């Protein structure tokens, strides 16, 4: 075994000293000289080490780090000023009672582990002063190489622990907010997506994923060209670049896209999003599915075209009025009857076009239709654009449209009918005059009832009956003698 004394010598010096010791009497002075020189060098080294040691201790003390030395029997052998100020002078006292206010050694004692396995042990603990510390225990060898104590570094980590607690709370809060936001995003009645400047999808909601029959994770990282036909992807990219370049939202884009379930029409709004420096990072978009609405609109358009085609081929006028009498719709046939174009009549109160003599009757019928909810038929006259009046007949009733009551009806030109009636009246008057000027009697009766239905003035004068009496008589027994009846038969 090498003598501990020789440990201070370099290998060459040790070899030289061994050689000199073989002849100590001859080389005594040289041996003494060598030893003195080494003693001086060792003292100098010890002083330097002592200075470095104190500098290290002072430096650690200055930054608030505690240093102590604890023996294997738990006795505190040394403390720096930091630990003294926090726990008092604990030298020759048990570490567990001084630092932890315990009656027995800590179950998690790092000193025991460090000595047992000859390695550095670390642990975090809460001390008697209520603060948290990181305790680092390292074996501290004696000069002879044996180990029966540890040097410990004690670092106050209370603020770090508080920060960690706040960080965890913040992370939990962020996680909860993130989950809440994700839930809100997922229940938005539309397809939400986020893309960076390179067209890479960074986020989508569940509706978007469901539309593609994919999981969200399967969409993240893909581009529009991975998800849609190239022509559609190019259109999407063009809109995205306009938003990114201009920094302005692009709203109400009506577009279509091919999804697994078929073509989907949507109204899309896109807006840029920024980082903390204000740089544009990409776009956020929301597409609202309007496929059903568009299909319904198309069917409605086709239905309206069919309806208008039917209306325009009907000779009668179709009209719709508000309860206040203002026209909200009228078919093209209006011009043929009144000289007014439909657009001239929209918003006008139609009652102003009634013949003054018909005004009261028409308004009463309108009131009756409104109150009783019944269908009304009425004849009246309306003013032509040129000032004369046109005879018409109308059928209308009250219906409810979008929660409002309206009059819907048809209007028919009665001009020809009126002419025919007038001609008929003239002919009747002519016939009556012709019959009444004859000297011979003339009468017509209903065979099944015997009631007289027509007679002339000569018949009344000869029979002596008034017109009312003749109408109530039964022919022919009522006004012929038995002999006359026999001659007739």
Between CA 409 and CA 415 the distance in angstroms is 19
Structural contact between residues 179 and 226, judged by C-beta atoms closer than 8 angstroms:
no
Q: What CA–CA distance (Å, rounded) separates 105 from 130?
A: 18
Q: Which tokens is 451 given?
A: 């009631």
- Determine the Cα–Cα distance for residues 403 and 424; give it in Å rounded to an integer: 47
pLDDT of amino acid 316? 86
Name the phi and psi angles at 26, rounded to 5: -75, -35
| Fold entry, domain 188-294 | Beta-Lactamase (3.30.450)
Give dist(CA 151, CA 140) in Å, integer. Answer: 6
Q: Which of 194, 201, 222 is nearest to 283 (CA)?
A: 194
CATH of 314-418, one of 3.40.50.720, 3.30.450.20, 3.55.10.10, 1.10.10.10: 3.30.450.20
Q: What is the mean pLDDT of each run of 10 residues along the chain (489 residues)?
A: 48 65 61 70 65 60 84 95 93 95 93 95 94 95 92 93 91 89 90 96 94 94 95 94 95 90 91 94 94 85 74 79 91 90 94 95 90 89 94 90 86 77 71 74 71 78 78 63 58
Cβ atoms of residues 452 and 480 within 8 Å: no
Residue 468: what pLDDT? 80
Q: Evaluate the omega torsion of the peptide bond into residue 476 and state whether it is cis, within 30 degrees of 0.
A: yes
What is the second-level CATH architecture of the domain 64-156? 2-Layer Sandwich (3.30)
> Count of alpha carbons within 13 Å of 10, Cβ hemisphere only?
4
Structure tokens belonging to residue 44: 């100098």
Given this model, what pLDDT does residue 27 score? 59
CB 127 within 8 A of CB 155: no
| Predicted pLDDT of residue 218 | 96
pTM greater than 0.85 (yes/no): no
**What stretch(es) of the chain map to CATH 3.30.450.20?**
64-156, 188-294, 314-418
pLDDT computed for residue 1 by the predictor: 38
pLDDT tens digits for range 319-333: 999 988 999 999 888
Q: 359: which 2 tokens?
A: 């005004």
| Whole-number pLDDT of residue 3 | 42
Structure confidence at residue 460 (pLDDT)? 77
Residues 6+ apart with CB under 8 A from 261: 211, 213
Which pLDDT score is estimated for 208? 94
């Amino acid at each position: 075994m090498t003598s501990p004394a020789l440990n201070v010598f370099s290998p060459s010096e040790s070899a030289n000293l061994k050689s000199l010791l073989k002849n100590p009497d001859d080389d005594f002075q040289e041996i003494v000289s060598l030893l003195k020189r080494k003693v001086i060098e060792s003292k100098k080294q010890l002083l330097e080490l002592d200075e470095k040691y104190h500098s290290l201790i002072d430096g650690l003390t200055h930054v608030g780090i505690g240093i102590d030395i604890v023996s294997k029997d738990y006795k505190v052998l040394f403390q720096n000023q930091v630990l003294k100020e926090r726990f008092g002078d604990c030298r020759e006292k048990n570490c567990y009672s001084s630092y932890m206010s315990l009656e027995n050694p800590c179950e998690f004692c790092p000193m025991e582990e460090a000595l047992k396995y000859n390695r550095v042990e670390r642990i975090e603990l809460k001390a008697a002063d209520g603060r948290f510390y990181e305790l680092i225990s390292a074996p501290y060898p004696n000069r002879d190489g044996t180990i029966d104590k540890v040097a410990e570094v004690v670092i106050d980590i209370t603020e770090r622990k508080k920060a960690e607690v706040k960080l965890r709370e913040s992370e939990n809060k962020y996680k909860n907010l993130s989950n809440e936001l994700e839930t809100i995003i997922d229940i938005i009645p539309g397809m939400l997506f986020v893309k960076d400047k390179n067209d890479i999808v960074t986020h989508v909601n569940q509706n978007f994923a469901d539309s593609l029959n994919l999981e969200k994770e399967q969409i993240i990282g893909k581009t529009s060209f991975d998800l849609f036909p190239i022509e559609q992807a190019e259109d999407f990219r063009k809109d995205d670049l306009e938003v990114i370049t201009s920094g302005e939202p692009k709203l109400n884009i009506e577009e279509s896209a091919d999804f697994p379930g078929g073509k989907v029409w949507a109204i899309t709004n896109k807006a840029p999003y920024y980082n903390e420096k204000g740089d544009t990072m990409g776009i956020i978009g929301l597409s609202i599915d309007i496929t059903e609405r568009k299909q319904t609109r198309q069917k409605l358009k086709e239905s309206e075209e069919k309806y208008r085609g039917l209306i325009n081929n009907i000779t009668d006028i179709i009209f719709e009025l508000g309860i206040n009498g203002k026209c909200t719709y009228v078919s093209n046939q209006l011009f043929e009857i009144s000289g007014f174009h439909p657009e001239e009549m929209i918003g006008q109160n139609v009652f102003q076009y009634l013949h003054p003599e018909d005004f009261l009757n028409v308004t009463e019928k309108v009131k009756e239709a409104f109150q009783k909810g019944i269908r009304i038929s009425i004849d009246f006259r309306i003013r032509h654009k040129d000032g004369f009046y046109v005879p018409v007949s109308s059928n209308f009733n009250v219906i409810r449209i979008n929660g409002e009551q309206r009059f819907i009806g048809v209007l028919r030109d009665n001009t020809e009918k009126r002419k025919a009636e007038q001609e008929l009246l003239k002919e009747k008057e002519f016939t009556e005059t012709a019959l009444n000027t004859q000297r011979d009697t003339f009468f017509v009766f209903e065979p099944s009832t015997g009631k007289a239905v027509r007679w002339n003035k000569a018949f009344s004068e000869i029979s002596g009956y008034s017109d009312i009496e003749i109408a109530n008589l039964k022919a022919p027994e009522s006004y012929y003698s038995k002999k006359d009846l026999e001659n007739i038969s």
